[in-house]
Amino acid sequence: MSNDDYQLEEIEGEFCPFCNKKTLTLRQSEREVPYFGKLIIFSMDCENEECNYHKADVEAEEDKTPIKCSFEVTSEEDLKVRVIKSSNATVKISHVGSIEPGPASNGYVTNIEGIINRMKKQIEIVRDTAEDESDRKKAKNILKKLTKVLMGSKSLTISLDDPSGNSAIISEKTVIKK
């Protein structure tokens, strides 16, 4: 099965667990990811404009063992490396910050560039809303660093820690600890 011809199952009109209206759409699909195996990708979206609940996650079709892995980004080519992140995973970017799991955490399939851009958006919010000038300055410096990484002129390390084992950084350069 290629990524272009996966089956998408969709069920509309379910009860939303937050607003309790029949406005929830459930979606599930399977995808084969090279060097990882078959993934089940699912999401829940409430169409009620007052609620807009969203939850997404990924799970490996077969049981996986807990995983800790890291990847050093040293070039623009590294930005294309595929990342599978479950809602249970913690993503850390060295000397920048982390994306922690929790009730609102989502799983997704992206690449290194996507992870960095997600982190950039969070830091931009801090830069734009922090009351303390030193916090704004720190955020600006981190954004400069991430921009240099995205241009291929600076390196950094990204790590994933997933007790469910449903996450991975798909590259021969990835250092894996199980």
d(CA 123, CA 141): 10
Task: For each of the domains in the chain, give its residue range(s) and CATH number, in order of start.
Answer: 1-62 (2.20.25), 63-178 (2.60.120.1040)
Q: In the prediction, which pLDDT does 171 show?
A: 96
- Which residues of the chain fall short of a pLDDT of 70? 1-6, 178
pTM for the complete prediction? Answer: 0.81
**pLDDT for position 102:** 82
Cα–Cα nearest to 39, from 67, 73, 62: 62
pLDDT in the model for residue 3: 45
Please enumerate in sequence order all residues whose Cβ is within 8 A of that of 151, keeping only pairs 6 or more positions apart, or say none.
76
What's the pLDDT at 178? 65
Q: Tokens 């060097």 map to which residue?
A: 35
